[in-house]
Structure 1
Amino acid sequence: MKNFMLVVLTAFVASSAAFAGEGMWTPDNLPKKQLQETYKFSPDQKWIDHAQRAALRLAGGCSGSFVSPNGLVLTNHHCVNSCVQQLSTADKDFIKAGFYAKQESEEIKCPEIELNRLDSIGNVTERVKKATAGKSGEDYSKAEKSVKSDIENECVGPAKETTRCDVVDLYHGGVYDLYKYHRFQDVRLVFAPELAMAFFGGDPDNFNFPRYDLDMGVLRAYENNKPAKVAEYFPFSKNGAEEKELTIVVGNPGGTDRQLTIAELESTRDMDTIPALLQLAERRGVIEQFRSQGAEQSRIAQSDLFGIENSFKALRGRLLSLQDPAVFELKRKQETELRDYVNADPARKTKYGAAWDEIAKAMVIYRNIETRYKLIERSQGISSKYFSYARALVRGASERGKPNSERLREFSESRLPSVTQSLFSTAPVYPQFEKVKLTFGLTKLRENLGADDVLVKQILGKSSPEALADQWIAATKLGDTDYRKKLWDGGADAIAKSDDPFIVLARDIDAQARAIRKQYENEVQSVVDKNSELIAAARFEKYGTSVYPDATFTERFSFGEVKGWELKGQWVKPFTDIGGAFARATGFEPFALPQSWLDAKPKLNLNQRFDFVTTNDIIGGNSGSPVINRNAEVVGLVFDGNIESLGGDYWYDESANRSVAVHSGAIIEALRNVYHAERLTKEIESARKH
């Protein structure tokens, strides 16, 4: 099996001329020749621009799309899950019962969702590289951050409330592009089914197929307190996806590591993936214990638990790939091929030859600091929403007084609206749950750094993690949105005078947190960035831009087709139907259908296709992406991949990697005959006239 895998990987990855389902292509560099040869499809610039602007990014880590001219947005339930939970109460649990706004006035604002529509892409490579030329270490890091912040600030101008600009590193620094977005921060919930239907089959079915999930959520973008008027949107197809049909996924894959060096892949496996899995397993146990205390505790912790279980299974799939000798054999072959090309020419060797070794040295430094960096700067050792608020307030007071180009990147002018949206969120904070999470974080801080560590002694003193968490949470006022606004508006003086325990903690450890961050940025990140640019330049000399860049949570187009696959000698058919959901139901979680579906069964078309798979190349972040046909009509909604696709972070295998989507016909069938969402169904169907 491994030899077969290696042959497949070599065929589809090693050859830059090969084209199949593989590839997450930027809107300005689609593989047009291969599309014509493979699918007889030649999208013109008008088609590309339309698809680019109809698709959306949910800034928290998902994708979506406009599906009507009135700002209606289609995405996944698991992408709006946090909003649904934040809007729920003990008396109105929308996670359990679902949500539908029967009229526009009932659409409720999500506290923390931001939508980004990509309006334009501009190349700023020359300007960035000019700023960093001849620099290394701290000088390189400062120059790179400064020039990026300047470019983004110039792009946003006075319109930072409605405009977002990001300088994006493509090909690991081979290209720098400026992505300009229209920002929507007034985003309201329109519809979400019951979790039991959105995640039917639960964790056992996650990353598997067949599936029977209505993993959909509907939002609406508002501007000036009215539904946003948009020119570009995707109408629904009348028939939905058909077998062997060309499918295009337009979304925002979060990140892939297909162009990393061997040293980086080894570090990813040993220093990031394995520790993350161990931590997730422990956190899951702690949260399960909290949920077992009662129905309200179960409701409060649902979103966190869902995220943990999903992340655990995804990371486990990635680890299996990183532990597969065939994958590393291919990666070594690719790296050797490029290094041999570089070493064959003295000029190339002088220019690029040391890059791989320099990255390997940086990975050694990372191994020595990664635990402390994650626990302190990444806040894994102080895991509480209260501390997240406190750090944003403390650092915001300090950073906003500096010139824009000298600030921490997350506090640059162009990014402040996202900071304040999170900081001033009206989402409820549950002290009892925060105590559990903070106790766990402090326990791991002491366990991993040791009881004799200076910082551990400074934070814990003579107290236990549980006693300290109890004391701090009883005394803090940071759960009050108005109090957080008062501290933010009061600036450095208000922060200096505050005696809130989390503000005091954030102040006291900020110097140490900044120091470990500085070491990481100067000795690891800047070294990797600089030398990755050199490797990218060498790769360009050999292959050009016929190779797509690694994913960067920016818009990408993926091309594939509706197609099953062979699993353990059996052919997996590409479609399921609604009748299959009733056949699979047991009446017990996670295979219990909601009462709404049991009641609606006589009215439903049980032969209606429900979920389906395609060969489209996707990864985390693509959740909520529209699956469209060559006419730019929605035929499905991406919500998952199969277990084989989890290795897609590092390679793509067309024979087995599959994306999983809800069929557009199932969406309409459910809205009309289960949820009686006539207003919503009418709006979606009337958009077909576009």
Structure 2
Amino acid sequence: MNPKPALALILMAVTSTAAFAGEGMWTPDNLPKAQVQAKYGFTPDAKWAERVQKSALRLAGGCSGSFVSPNGLVLTNHHCVNSCVQQLSSAEKDYIKSGFLAKDEKDEIKCPEIELNRLDQIVDVTERIRKATAGKSGEDYSKAEKAIKSEIEKECVGKDSADTRCDVVDLYRGGVYDLYKYHRFQDVRLAFAPELEIAFFGGDPDNFNFPRYDLDMGLLRAYENGKPVKVKEYFPFSKNGAEDGEMTVIVGNPGGTDRQLTIAQLDFARDDELIPYLMLLAERRGLLEQFRSQGAENWRVAQSDLFGTENSFKALRGRLQALQDPAVFELKRKQEKELRDFVDADPARKQKYGAAWDEIAKAVALHRNIEDRYNYIEYGRGFYSRYFEYARTLVRGAAERGKPNAERLREFSDSRLPSVTQRLFSTAPVYPDYEKVKLGWSLAKLREALGTDDAFVRQVLGKESPEALAKRLVDGSRLNDPAVRKALWEGGADAIAKSDDPFIALARQVDGDGRAIRTRYENEIESVIDKNSELIAEARFAKYGTSVYPDATFTQRFSFGEVKGWDEKGEAVKPFTTIGGAFEHATGSYPFALPQSWLDAKGRLDLGQRYNFVTTNDIIGGNSGSPVINKNAEVVGLVFDGNIHSLGGDYWYDERLNRAVSVHSGAILEALRKVYGADALVKEIESARR
């Protein structure tokens, strides 16, 4: 279902000057106002943009959301709150299967690990960072860049780290550095989540496809000082929801795109990153499927991990297919050649920027030599376990917090510690038998990747099998108890040094190897790529100015498009499905089985109500949970997916085929009212007018 378009059509659809169509993930401070006005007759002025910016939210774990009432009610996807729902569930009370509804605010339950970020301010700090890194390279560049970023973030947070988060963001691959200041909400409570059967109706077979029939939505509420937060900016629901041909704006936090990578980097992504990782994910999926098949409780325990693995596999396979398409690669070569020809045409430009592409290619070649060690040791692919994650955080946290803020590993800087401790002290359950299976498998993959005679592998495994080591570690550890983790964190370096917990011992044992390969990566690869990407960005600015948008960076972006279907191999795909279509699509067997609540409510439902729909908005992973709004900043839908063609959107955008898939706002209200009897939530949403 992913035909390879001819090169001529691709070149017509996309140009290196980013001619405005639906393409573009634009920062709030650089919206394409003239182009939007010309195409849609609407100008997104500064007042409108600020209101939208502060109504939208980021879920720090990797999704988007938005305030939809002045009382802190937050709309996002079910798959974005799925981990919370699972963490709040038990064998006796499984909210994944039954769904969850808080009849009143007092019934809302705190999610152990969800943090919401509201973007309040953007400040350009490019010159300050350039000044700190000027004339430096390699290790000196890496240290200077990290130090100045940590310094800027600490100044921004001040003494309010509990409520403020500050991140220095690299835009245009280092062409611009902006400081993003967020209001942080860590008391986030679950208000509503439907059953998984309807939230992910169609399962993996329907994932990244259309037509769809999913109620992939959930409702959270942000609290401060034990009370629902009062917010000034929020999105009211539209009375009618999305209409055919209507202009739509998606505002969210796309996780990352690679549209400005060099050819050397794209070669590396295709051959050295995507293919090996897809093979690993395929094996992991088999492992989790086998575990899940062993009983109802195993099914519940592994559900969230399996969903994430299947979703990642399908998304990354789509990226690989895009990079394996000769026409797409030819387009990327054409774009790079156009910019390099521009640089070479002027002696001054050539002297300043001309070597940048070759320097990046050298760094990429070095990356190939250390990639397995970096991924399995430092990145943690060889230690697939929450126990080890906790242990490494405790061991490194004890070492890093004793250093000046500017000298720490970036994840332990002052501005990021609240997020670290939220996850570390989480009350989410940890399941020992499940952890043994995951860890034993990943240790076997570590041995396979690095070799049985590798010194690091021998150091970790000794004479034990991966499975035996995993069992010994898990059986002997107390890190599944949040009180134990908190005591170790507060005890600092002394407590860590004295701990006899086997996972703490393992994390201490491997920490030197992890730090060594990380240091090599940062000093010899990352710093070279960062420095030379800055130069390429400067050259791109010289040619195109700010008419181009930066690659996505899991920061807030605006995407402009319209409700519109597409042509699939000569067949017209209509932009809407209906609730009635869900009943026609159902087979009664998972994953096409409707929950009993929907079967019981069929006679009450408006079967002609628009359910899911597609738009031309340019999105990528991380946009999940983004509101779809109209020009009046009213919710007309909720993004939960893209179609199969959008998977190549990491590298390029094709308005003919790429589509965002959303839940219609009318369907959300219809289901809340007639299936779930969530009258209080419906009243709150419908009364939230401006």
| Cα offsets for 1:376-435 (capped at 9, x unmatched) | 001110111000000000000000000000000000000000000000000000000000
- 2:375 maps to 374
- 2:101 maps to 100
C-alpha spacing 1:5/1:123, structure 2 compared with 1 (3 Å) = farther
- 1:627 maps to 628
Distance 1:4 1:254 in 2: 26
The AA in structure 2 aligned to 1:512 is D
**Aligned-residue offset at 1:487:** 0.3
Distance 2:114 2:242 in 1: 29
Instruction: State the secondary structure of the residue aligned to 1:284.
Output: helix
- 1:614 maps to 615
Distance 1:615 1:133 in 2: 42
Distance 1:92 1:370 in 2: 43
TM-score (norm 1): 0.99
Distance 2:242 2:534 in 1: 41
- 1:451 maps to 452
Quick check: 1:542 aligned with 2:513? Answer: no
C-alpha spacing 1:595/1:4, structure 2 compared with 1 (3 Å) = closer
Distance 2:109 2:9 in 1: 49
**Aligned-residue offset at 1:504:** 0.5
Does the CA-based 8 Å contact 1:9-1:651 persist in structure 2?
no
**Aligned-residue offset at 1:17:** 6.0
Distance 2:15 2:567 in 1: 23
- 1:479 maps to 480
C-alpha spacing 1:289/1:630, structure 2 compared with 1 (3 Å) = same
**Aligned-residue offset at 1:44:** 1.8
**Aligned-residue offset at 1:522:** 0.7
Matches within 5 A, 1:240-319: 240-319=241-320
- 2:41 maps to 40
**Aligned-residue offset at 1:12:** 4.2
The AA in structure 2 aligned to 1:666 is A
Does the CA-based 8 Å contact 1:12-1:22 persist in structure 2?
no
Instruction: State the secondary structure of the residue aligned to 1:603.
Output: coil
Matches within 5 A, 1:120-269: 120-269=121-270
The AA in structure 1 aligned to 2:379 is R
**Aligned-residue offset at 1:3:** 8.5
Quick check: 1:51 aligned with 2:56? Answer: no
The AA in structure 2 aligned to 1:413 is D
Quick check: 1:643 aligned with 2:648? Answer: no
- 2:24 maps to 23
- 2:85 maps to 84
C-alpha spacing 1:257/1:15, structure 2 compared with 1 (3 Å) = closer
- 1:502 maps to 503
**Aligned-residue offset at 1:4:** 5.0
Quick check: 1:579 aligned with 2:580? Answer: yes
Instruction: State the secondary structure of the residue aligned to 2:603.
Output: helix
Give the unaligned 5+ runs of structure 1. Answer: none
C-alpha spacing 1:351/1:2, structure 2 compared with 1 (3 Å) = farther
The AA in structure 2 aligned to 1:501 is P
| Cα offsets for 1:297-317 (capped at 9, x unmatched) | 111000000000000000011
**Aligned-residue offset at 1:108:** 0.3
Matches within 5 A, 1:405-420: 405-420=406-421
- 2:64 maps to 63
Distance 1:2 1:281 in 2: 23
Distance 1:517 1:43 in 2: 43
Does the CA-based 8 Å contact 1:12-1:19 persist in structure 2?
no
Distance 1:25 1:651 in 2: 15
- 2:534 maps to 533
**Aligned-residue offset at 1:18:** 1.6
Does the CA-based 8 Å contact 1:11-1:18 persist in structure 2?
no
Distance 2:3 2:469 in 1: 51
User: How many aligned positions are there?
Assistant: 689
Does the CA-based 8 Å contact 1:25-1:558 persist in structure 2?
yes
Distance 1:243 1:2 in 2: 26
The AA in structure 2 aligned to 1:25 is W
Does the CA-based 8 Å contact 2:163-2:184 persist in structure 1?
yes
**Aligned-residue offset at 1:272:** 1.2
Distance 2:106 2:203 in 1: 33
**Aligned-residue offset at 1:284:** 0.7
Does the CA-based 8 Å contact 1:174-1:533 persist in structure 2?
yes
The AA in structure 2 aligned to 1:649 is D
Instruction: State the secondary structure of the residue aligned to 2:687.
Output: helix
Does the CA-based 8 Å contact 2:400-2:412 persist in structure 1?
yes
Distance 2:3 2:442 in 1: 40
Distance 1:475 1:682 in 2: 51
Task: Please provide the CA RMSD for this pair.
Answer: 0.9
**Aligned-residue offset at 1:11:** 3.3
Distance 1:2 1:661 in 2: 23
Distance 1:460 1:356 in 2: 41
The AA in structure 2 aligned to 1:455 is F
**Aligned-residue offset at 1:271:** 1.5
C-alpha spacing 1:551/1:133, structure 2 compared with 1 (3 Å) = same
Distance 2:439 2:28 in 1: 43
The AA in structure 2 aligned to 1:109 is K
Give the unaligned 5+ runs of structure 2. Answer: none
Does the CA-based 8 Å contact 2:5-2:327 persist in structure 1?
no
The AA in structure 2 aligned to 1:627 is V
Distance 1:471 1:344 in 2: 64
Distance 2:18 2:283 in 1: 45
**Aligned-residue offset at 1:281:** 0.4
Instruction: State the secondary structure of the residue aligned to 2:652.
Output: coil
Instruction: State the secondary structure of the residue aligned to 2:539.
Output: helix
- 1:114 maps to 115
C-alpha spacing 1:446/1:17, structure 2 compared with 1 (3 Å) = closer
The AA in structure 1 aligned to 2:601 is A
C-alpha spacing 1:115/1:3, structure 2 compared with 1 (3 Å) = closer
- 1:569 maps to 570
Identity %: 75
The AA in structure 1 aligned to 2:590 is E
- 1:320 maps to 321
The AA in structure 2 aligned to 1:661 is S
**Aligned-residue offset at 1:5:** 4.2
**Aligned-residue offset at 1:15:** 4.7
- 1:437 maps to 438
Quick check: 1:680 aligned with 2:681? Answer: yes
| Cα offsets for 1:164-221 (capped at 9, x unmatched) | 0000000000000000000000000000000000000111100000000000010000
